Amino acid sequence: GSSKPMKQTLEMPLIKDVMAPVATITLGFSVHEAAKKIIQDKFNHLPVVDENSRLVGIVTSWDVSKALALSKSDKLAPIMTRNVITVAPDDPADLAVRLLEKHNISALPVIDKDKKVLGIVTGEGLSKLISRGVQP
């Protein structure tokens, strides 16, 4: 078959070059509903937003497991992480690598100046970049 030449930038990639779309949930979701969304959408990281679509927390399958392990209530608020480490679209991609390592986390929501969620950067996504020969 034919193959198109792959575009490759020699400049340092930015967060917006490596981020992926992400689904969000609201504080009204239960743990059970969050678990369903994680499984259905195959997103492991669900940013939680308030009524103005602003980021207020993040929930992962890890937090769902925590709810089950601790047999806590089915409410999202007690198990979500509130201090979310985030990046901006124009940050350099290597900042994400350093933040993931420093905080021992697997994904970073990308937000704009109004805390609206634009996407997500995962260790997986960064590994893909690297496996294509791009050094972040």
Ligand X SMILES: C[S@@+](CC[C@H](N)C(=O)[O-])C[C@H]1O[C@@H](n2cnc3c(N)ncnc32)[C@H](O)[C@@H]1O
Cβ proximity of 25 and 80 under 8 Å: no
Q: For the chain, percent helix, then strand, then coil, each to nearest 5? A: 35, 25, 45
For a copy of itself, the binding residue among 66, 75, 115, 116 (CB under 8 A) is 66
Q: Which stretch binds ligand X (CB under 6 A): 15-23, 27-35, 70-78, 98-106?
A: 98-106
Cβ proximity of 48 and 115 under 8 Å: no
Applying CB under 6 A, does 84 fall inside the site for ligand X? yes
Applying CB under 6 A, does 24 fall inside the site for ligand X? no
Q: Among 129, 110, 107, which Cα is nearest to 118's?
A: 110
Applying CB under 8 A, does 52 fall inside the site for a copy of itself? no
Q: Which residues, in sequence order, are CB contacts of 135 under 8 Å at separation 6+?
A: none
Applying CB under 8 A, does 62 fall inside the site for a copy of itself? yes
* Separation between Cα atoms, residue 33 and residue 3, nearest integer Å: 43
For a copy of itself, the binding residue among 26, 53, 73, 127 (CB under 8 A) is 127
- From the DSSP assignment, how many helices (H) and strands (E) are in the chain? 5, 5
Applying CB under 6 A, does 81 fall inside the site for ligand X? yes
For ligand X, the binding residue among 16, 44, 115, 136 (CB under 6 A) is 44
- Which residues of the chain form contacts with a copy of itself (CB under 8 A)? 31-32, 35-36, 38-40, 44, 60-62, 64-66, 68-70, 94, 97-98, 100-101, 104, 106, 123-124, 126-128, 130-131, 135-136
